[in-house]
Amino acid sequence: MKNIFYVLTALLMVSCSSNSLKSKYGETITSYLLHGKTASDYNFKIEELTEQGTLTVADSIAYLTDEFRKDKQLIINRFSLAKERCETLLKRTKNQKYEAEIAQIKRGIDSLTNLPPDNLQEYEGRNTNDILSIIIRCRYSIQLPGSFPVIETFDFFLSPDGSKCYRKTRVE
Protein backbone atom coordinates (compact mmCIF):
# COMPACT_ATOMS: atom_id res chain seq x y z
CA MET A 1 0.00 0.00 0.00
CA LYS A 2 2.86 2.35 0.85
CA ASN A 3 4.54 1.67 -2.53
CA ILE A 4 1.32 2.47 -4.40
CA PHE A 5 1.12 5.80 -2.58
CA TYR A 6 4.70 6.67 -3.65
CA VAL A 7 4.03 5.69 -7.26
CA LEU A 8 0.84 7.79 -7.39
CA THR A 9 2.65 10.75 -5.82
CA ALA A 10 5.47 10.49 -8.37
CA LEU A 11 2.97 10.32 -11.25
CA LEU A 12 1.13 13.35 -9.92
CA MET A 13 4.39 15.33 -9.66
CA VAL A 14 5.45 14.39 -13.21
CA SER A 15 2.08 15.30 -14.69
CA CYS A 16 1.96 18.59 -12.81
CA SER A 17 5.47 19.58 -13.86
CA SER A 18 4.64 18.73 -17.48
CA ASN A 19 1.55 20.96 -17.36
CA SER A 20 3.50 23.81 -15.77
CA LEU A 21 6.10 23.57 -18.55
CA LYS A 22 3.33 23.67 -21.15
CA SER A 23 1.78 26.75 -19.63
CA LYS A 24 5.12 28.45 -18.99
CA TYR A 25 6.84 27.83 -22.34
CA GLY A 26 4.07 26.56 -24.63
CA GLU A 27 2.73 30.01 -25.47
CA THR A 28 6.18 31.34 -26.39
CA ILE A 29 6.92 28.34 -28.63
CA THR A 30 3.47 28.44 -30.25
CA SER A 31 3.83 32.14 -30.98
CA TYR A 32 7.32 31.62 -32.42
CA LEU A 33 6.19 28.79 -34.71
CA LEU A 34 2.88 30.17 -35.91
CA HIS A 35 3.94 33.80 -36.50
CA GLY A 36 0.69 35.38 -35.37
CA LYS A 37 -1.67 32.69 -36.65
CA THR A 38 -3.80 30.73 -34.20
CA ALA A 39 -3.21 27.12 -33.23
CA SER A 40 -6.54 26.16 -34.77
CA ASP A 41 -5.47 27.59 -38.18
CA TYR A 42 -2.90 24.81 -38.45
CA ASN A 43 -4.40 22.22 -36.11
CA PHE A 44 -1.31 22.80 -33.94
CA LYS A 45 -0.89 20.88 -30.71
CA ILE A 46 2.06 20.59 -28.34
CA GLU A 47 2.45 16.91 -27.52
CA GLU A 48 5.35 17.06 -25.06
CA LEU A 49 7.67 19.63 -23.50
CA THR A 50 10.79 18.75 -21.55
CA GLU A 51 13.51 20.97 -20.17
CA GLN A 52 16.89 19.90 -21.57
CA GLY A 53 19.14 22.25 -19.64
CA THR A 54 20.52 25.74 -19.78
CA LEU A 55 23.23 27.67 -21.57
CA THR A 56 25.40 29.75 -19.27
CA VAL A 57 27.99 32.45 -19.83
CA ALA A 58 30.67 29.78 -19.28
CA ASP A 59 29.11 27.57 -22.00
CA SER A 60 29.03 30.48 -24.41
CA ILE A 61 32.65 31.45 -23.68
CA ALA A 62 33.76 27.83 -24.20
CA TYR A 63 31.88 27.62 -27.52
CA LEU A 64 33.21 30.93 -28.83
CA THR A 65 36.76 30.09 -27.74
CA ASP A 66 36.57 26.72 -29.49
CA GLU A 67 35.20 28.30 -32.69
CA PHE A 68 37.94 30.95 -32.58
CA ARG A 69 40.57 28.23 -32.13
CA LYS A 70 39.19 26.25 -35.11
CA ASP A 71 39.13 29.32 -37.35
CA LYS A 72 42.63 30.30 -36.26
CA GLN A 73 43.92 26.78 -36.93
CA LEU A 74 42.44 26.83 -40.42
CA ILE A 75 44.32 30.04 -41.21
CA ILE A 76 47.54 28.69 -39.67
CA ASN A 77 47.20 25.58 -41.87
CA ARG A 78 46.85 27.77 -44.96
CA PHE A 79 49.92 29.80 -43.97
CA SER A 80 51.86 26.56 -43.41
CA LEU A 81 50.88 25.33 -46.86
CA ALA A 82 52.03 28.63 -48.39
CA LYS A 83 55.33 28.35 -46.48
CA GLU A 84 55.87 24.80 -47.79
CA ARG A 85 55.23 25.97 -51.36
CA CYS A 86 57.68 28.85 -50.95
CA GLU A 87 60.29 26.46 -49.54
CA THR A 88 59.80 24.15 -52.53
CA LEU A 89 60.15 27.06 -54.94
CA LEU A 90 63.26 28.26 -53.09
CA LYS A 91 64.88 24.84 -53.50
CA ARG A 92 64.00 24.73 -57.20
CA THR A 93 64.87 28.27 -58.23
CA LYS A 94 67.32 29.46 -55.55
CA ASN A 95 65.59 32.85 -55.79
CA GLN A 96 66.22 34.87 -52.63
CA LYS A 97 62.80 36.57 -52.70
CA TYR A 98 61.29 33.33 -51.38
CA GLU A 99 63.45 33.53 -48.23
CA ALA A 100 61.86 36.87 -47.37
CA GLU A 101 58.38 35.47 -48.02
CA ILE A 102 59.11 32.42 -45.85
CA ALA A 103 60.30 34.67 -43.01
CA GLN A 104 57.15 36.81 -43.32
CA ILE A 105 54.90 33.71 -43.31
CA LYS A 106 56.70 32.38 -40.20
CA ARG A 107 56.07 35.69 -38.41
CA GLY A 108 52.40 35.46 -39.39
CA ILE A 109 52.14 31.92 -38.05
CA ASP A 110 53.83 32.90 -34.76
CA SER A 111 51.54 35.91 -34.42
CA LEU A 112 48.43 33.80 -35.00
CA THR A 113 49.59 31.05 -32.66
CA ASN A 114 49.75 33.48 -29.75
CA LEU A 115 46.57 35.37 -30.65
CA PRO A 116 43.93 35.19 -27.88
CA PRO A 117 40.19 35.13 -28.66
CA ASP A 118 38.93 38.61 -29.46
CA ASN A 119 35.21 37.89 -29.47
CA LEU A 120 34.54 37.68 -25.72
CA GLN A 121 34.11 41.39 -24.83
CA GLU A 122 30.39 40.88 -24.29
CA TYR A 123 31.11 38.61 -21.32
CA GLU A 124 33.69 40.72 -19.50
CA GLY A 125 32.71 41.16 -15.87
CA ARG A 126 29.81 38.72 -16.06
CA ASN A 127 29.33 35.82 -13.71
CA THR A 128 30.12 32.60 -15.58
CA ASN A 129 27.08 30.93 -13.97
CA ASP A 130 24.59 33.47 -15.39
CA ILE A 131 21.96 31.72 -17.49
CA LEU A 132 21.70 33.02 -21.04
CA SER A 133 19.15 30.57 -22.40
CA ILE A 134 16.90 27.68 -21.39
CA ILE A 135 16.69 24.72 -23.76
CA ILE A 136 13.21 23.22 -24.10
CA ARG A 137 12.56 20.12 -26.22
CA CYS A 138 9.14 20.27 -27.81
CA ARG A 139 7.34 17.55 -29.72
CA TYR A 140 4.33 18.94 -31.53
CA SER A 141 1.90 18.07 -34.27
CA ILE A 142 0.90 20.46 -37.00
CA GLN A 143 -1.32 20.09 -40.04
CA LEU A 144 -1.20 22.63 -42.82
CA PRO A 145 -4.43 23.04 -44.80
CA GLY A 146 -4.77 20.27 -47.39
CA SER A 147 -1.96 18.12 -45.99
CA PHE A 148 -1.43 15.31 -43.54
CA PRO A 149 -0.50 16.00 -39.92
CA VAL A 150 3.21 16.06 -39.15
CA ILE A 151 4.87 15.40 -35.79
CA GLU A 152 8.16 17.22 -35.27
CA THR A 153 10.64 17.54 -32.41
CA PHE A 154 12.83 20.60 -31.92
CA ASP A 155 14.97 22.09 -29.18
CA PHE A 156 13.95 25.69 -28.57
CA PHE A 157 16.37 28.17 -27.05
CA LEU A 158 14.36 30.53 -24.88
CA SER A 159 15.26 33.56 -22.80
CA PRO A 160 15.84 32.78 -19.10
CA ASP A 161 12.32 33.95 -18.24
CA GLY A 162 10.82 31.93 -21.11
CA SER A 163 9.19 34.93 -22.77
CA LYS A 164 11.28 35.03 -25.97
CA CYS A 165 12.45 32.34 -28.40
CA TYR A 166 15.92 32.91 -29.85
CA ARG A 167 16.11 29.93 -32.22
CA LYS A 168 15.26 26.28 -32.70
CA THR A 169 17.21 23.22 -33.82
CA ARG A 170 15.79 19.95 -35.11
CA VAL A 171 16.28 16.94 -32.89
CA GLU A 172 17.71 14.07 -34.90
The amino acid at residue 120 is L
Beta bridge partners, 135, equal 53, 157
| Residues 45-101 pLDDT 10s | 999 999 999 999 999 999 999 999 999 999 999 999 999 999 998 888 888 888 889
pTM (predicted TM-score): 0.68
Alpha helices in the chain (DSSP H): 2-34, 57-93, 97-113
* Residues 154 and 52: beta-carbon distance below 8 Å: no
DSSP 121: G
Q: Could you tell me the residue ranges of all domains in the chain?
A: 25-57+127-170, 59-123
Give the separation between CA 101 and CA 5, rounded to whole angstroms.
79
Gyration radius (Cα) of the chain, Å: 27
